[in-house]
Amino acid sequence: MTKLREDIRNVAIIAHVDHGKTTLVDELLKQSDTLSARAHLDDRAMDSNDLEKERGITILAKNTAVKYKDKHINILDTPGHADFGGEVERIMKMVDGVVLVVDAYEGTMPQTRFVLKKALDQGLTPIVVVNKIDKPSARPEEVVDEVLELLIELGADEEQLEFPVVYASAINGTSSLSDDLETQEHTMEPLFETIIDHIPAPVDNSDEPLQFQVSLLDYNDFVGRIGIGRVFRGTIKVGDSVTLSKLDGTKQNFRVTKLFGFFGLDRVEIQEAKAGDLIAVSGMDDIFVGETVTPSDHIDPLPILHIDEPTLQMTFLVNNSPFAGREGKWVTSRKVEERLQSELQTDVSLRIDPTDSPDRWIVSGRGELHLSILIETMRREGYELQVSRPEVIEREIDGVRSEPFERVQIDTPEEYQGSIIQALSERKGNMLDMVNTGNGQVRLIFLVPARGLIGFSTEFLSMTRGYGIMNHTFDQYMPMIHEQIGGRSRGALVSIDTGKTTTYAIMGVEERGTIFVNPGTEVYEGMIIGEHSRENDLTVNVTKAKQMTNVRSANKDQTNVIKTPRILTLEESIEFMADDEYLEITPESIRLRKQILNKAEREKANKKKKG
C-alpha cells in the first residue's frame, strides 16, 4: 500500500484578476496557527511588488505556508494573467490540488479558464471557493453551475466534476459550506477542513533516491540563484553532494549549501527535506527551471518542464533623444544590458537577443502586459531607454507561416455590441459565441490574431465608455493572415522645434487633433505632441510665444482656455506607437517621438520607402 505524508498538503490558488485570491490567502494566514498574535499583516501581503499592489494583479508566483492543527499547508499563489502563463504550468507540477476562487457575481472568466485547463490536464483535484458572497448582486447557484459547465468544457474527469464548494467573503474573513448568507461565520475553518479532506496528501517515498525539480527561480545578491521546487522522491540534506541534470543534457556536481522551507510569508532555513516538501535550494550558480537534482550515483532526471514560448517582441534601445541622460541614473548600453540579463535570472518566459548594434536588443515576452511591466520596473529603478512598437512573433509550422491567435472574452452592455463586433471583425476577429447574460449585458467570445489586439484596449474602453470588460489569453498559432491588421488610423502631431510649449501655441493647433502635452512642457524637434485628426502626420509649432504689443484688451487674454490635454499612460503610449516611432522612457517622463527627428530627413526616408 502506498505510504502518504498526511502532515502535508500542497495546493495552488487560481483566480481571475480581482476575484479576491490574494485577500483570501491573507485571511488564511491570519486565521491559521502560523502568525503570532503580534505579527501585523499588510493588506494583500502576498503581492510584495509595488506594481502588483498598484495594478491589483499577481505577476510572480509566490509561495506561503500555513499551519492548521498539525498539518502544514503549502499554498502557491498563481498569476491570473495569461501573460504569465509559463509560471502557471510549472506551479501545477508542484501541487496536488487547486483552490479555484470565483467572484459570486462575475462568475468564471477567461483567465481562470487558461489556468484551470493547465490544472485539469495535470489531473489535479479542484476545490471551488465562491468569494464575495456578501455582495448584494451575488448569484452563487448560477456561478457554481458556470464552474461545472466550464470544467465539462475543459475536459474534466468524473472525479474532478465532484468538486466541493466553500462560500466565503475573504474581505470579512467569513466562510461556510452553504450559500445561505446567514450561515457565514468569522472563520476559515470550512476551507481548511475541505483542503485537508479533499486534496490528496503527497506520496511518501522518502526512502528512495532523491528527485528534486526546479519549477521557479529566485535570485538574491548574497547566495545568487535560488531554485524553488518540489521534492518528488527521496530526501535532501544540507551538505549532500548531488548532481544537477541540465536542460542541454550535461551534468553538474555540487554541494547543497543551504535549504529553505516556507512558513507564513518567510523562508526559513532547514537542514533536510523529504518527498512532498516544497523547498528552495541554493549553491548552484546556473540552475534553471525544469532541471532535476539527483544523487550522483543514481542520476534519473524528471521530464523537462514546458515553458510557454514568447508571442510578442519589441526592440529595446539606449536612449539617444536630445533629452537623453537628463533624468535617469542608468543610461549606458552596458547598464541596460546588465539589467535585462538580470531579468533573465528569474523570468523564464522572457528572451533577449542581441542585434548587430551594441545599443539595441530584441526583447520577447508573452504579451503587452508582460513587456510593459518590465519597462515600468526598469523605469522606477532609474533606467532610461527607448522601445519600438511591439510585433508578434511569427513561426513556420509544417511549412506554413503562422501567427499567434488569442481567445477574447468581452462582457459589455448590449448597446455597444454592434460597434465591438464591427471593430473586431475589421481586425480579422472571428466570433465564436454570443450569450445574453441578463440585465442588458452580453458576453461575446472571439478568436483574434494577436497583432489585431495590439492597441485595441484603449479603443475598446472609449467605445464602451469604460463599461466593457475585455479579457484575452493565447489560444494557438494559426496560418498567417496576409493583410494589414489594426494599427493606428490617424497620424501624429509632431513638434517642429525644441523649447517649452506655450498655451498660445497649443491653442493654435488644438483644432488639428488631440494634444498630449501640457503648456510649459519641454519638447524637442521630432517629438510627438498629439494625434492628428487625419491619417497623415503633421508638423506643428507648439513653442511659439505670443507677440507682445502695447495695446491690451481688457478681457481677451482671460478667455484663452485650452482643452485638457490627454496624457497617455505607458500602456497607451505603447499602443499608440507606429512603426516609424519610438517611445522614450525615463524615471520622470514618457515621450513619443519619431525615429528620424528632422522633418526633411523623415520625408526623404518616406519617399525612399514608397519608391
CA 544 to chain centre: 43
CA distance 487 to 427: 9
Share of the chain above pLDDT 70, in %: 90
Taking Cα atoms as reference points, which of 282, 348, 278, 289 lies closest to residue 64? 278
Residues 392-428 pLDDT 10s: 999 999 999 999 998 888 888 899 999 999 999 999 9
462 falls in which pLDDT band (50, 70, 90)? Answer: confident
User: Longest C-alpha distance within the chain, in Å?
Assistant: 101
38 falls in which pLDDT band (50, 70, 90)? Answer: very low
At residue 509, the pLDDT reads 94
| Strand, helix or coil for residue 554 | coil
Bridge partner list, 385: 585
H-run or E-run covering 132: none
Assess whether pLDDT exceeds 70 at residue 59: no
- Contacting residues for 476 by C-beta, under 8 A, at least 6 apart: 404, 405
Q: How many CA atoms lie within 13 A of 513 on its CB side?
A: 23
Tell me which of 115 and 7 has the higher pLDDT: 7
- Using CB atoms within 10 A of its CB, is residue 418 exposed (0-12), middle (13-18) or buried (19+)? exposed
Least confident of 42-51, 297-306, 476-485: 42-51
- Average pLDDT (169-174) is 90
**Domain residue spans in the chain?**
8-198, 211-295, 312-392, 395-479, 492-610
Mean residue pLDDT of the chain comes to 86
Q: Which three cell numbers stand for residue 441?
A: 449585458
Assess whether pLDDT exceeds 70 at residue 352: yes
At residue 195, the pLDDT reads 95
At residue 78, the pLDDT reads 76
| Residue recorded with cell 503633421 | 538
Q: Are 276 and 8 in contact (CB under 8 A)?
A: yes
Q: Are 210 and 236 in contact (CB under 8 A)?
A: yes
Q: Are 243 and 293 in contact (CB under 8 A)?
A: yes
Bridge partner list, 583: 387, 592
- Average pLDDT (143-160) is 89
Which residue type sits at 304? I
* Residue 571 CB coordination number (10 Å): 17
Which residue type sits at 100? L
Per-residue CA distances from 461 to 37, 79, 402 (Å): 45, 24, 29
Tell me if domain 8-198 and domain 492-610 are identical in fold: no
CA distance 212 to 283: 14
Residues 250-260 pLDDT 10s: 999 988 888 98
Assess whether pLDDT exceeds 70 at residue 550: no
Residues at the annotated binding site?
Answer: 18-23, 131-134
* Residue 69 CB coordination number (10 Å): 11
Assess whether pLDDT exceeds 80 at residue 21: no
At residue 112, the pLDDT reads 72
Residues 74-113 pLDDT 10s: 988 776 555 555 677 788 889 999 999 998 988 887 667 7
- Average pLDDT (250-277) is 88
308 falls in which pLDDT band (50, 70, 90)? Answer: low
CA distance 258 to 318: 39
Residues 196-237 pLDDT 10s: 999 999 999 999 999 999 988 887 777 778 888 999 999 999
- Average pLDDT (375-399) is 94
CATH number of 312-392: 3.30.70.870
At residue 311, the pLDDT reads 85
At residue 266, the pLDDT reads 75
Assess whether pLDDT exceeds 90 at residue 9: yes
56 falls in which pLDDT band (50, 70, 90)? Answer: very low
Per-residue CA distances from 361 to 87, 221, 325, 573 (Å): 24, 25, 19, 20
- Contacting residues for 471 by C-beta, under 8 A, at least 6 apart: 16, 109, 110, 111, 408, 409, 410
Which residue type sits at 51? L
Residues 25-37 pLDDT 10s: 888 888 877 554 3
Q: Are 127 and 198 in contact (CB under 8 A)?
A: yes
Q: Which three cell numbers stand for residue 487?
A: 494599427
CA distance 138 to 204: 42
At residue 263, the pLDDT reads 81
CA 36 to chain centre: 33
Which pTM value belongs to this model?
A: 0.73
At residue 84, the pLDDT reads 58
CA 415 to chain centre: 30
Residues at the annotated binding site for GTP?
Answer: 18-23, 131-134
Q: Which fold has domain 211-295?
A: Elongation Factor Tu (Ef-tu); domain 3 (2.40.30)
At residue 558, the pLDDT reads 46
- Contacting residues for 458 by C-beta, under 8 A, at least 6 apart: 571, 572, 575, 576
Q: Are 74 and 396 in contact (CB under 8 A)?
A: no
At residue 40, the pLDDT reads 41
At residue 117, the pLDDT reads 79
Per CATH, the architecture of 395-479 is what? Answer: 2-Layer Sandwich (3.30)
Assess whether pLDDT exceeds 60 at residue 503: yes
At residue 60, the pLDDT reads 40
CA distance 263 to 524: 54
CATH number of 492-610: 2.40.50.250
Per CATH, domain 8-198 is 3.40.50.1000: no
Q: Which three cell numbers stand for residue 338?
A: 546588465
Tell me which of 174 and 345 has the higher pLDDT: 174
Q: Which three cell numbers stand for residue 549?
A: 504689443
* Residue 445 CB coordination number (10 Å): 15
| Strand, helix or coil for residue 448 | strand
Least confident of 9-18, 159-168, 495-504, 554-563: 554-563
At residue 306, the pLDDT reads 67
CA 99 to chain centre: 20
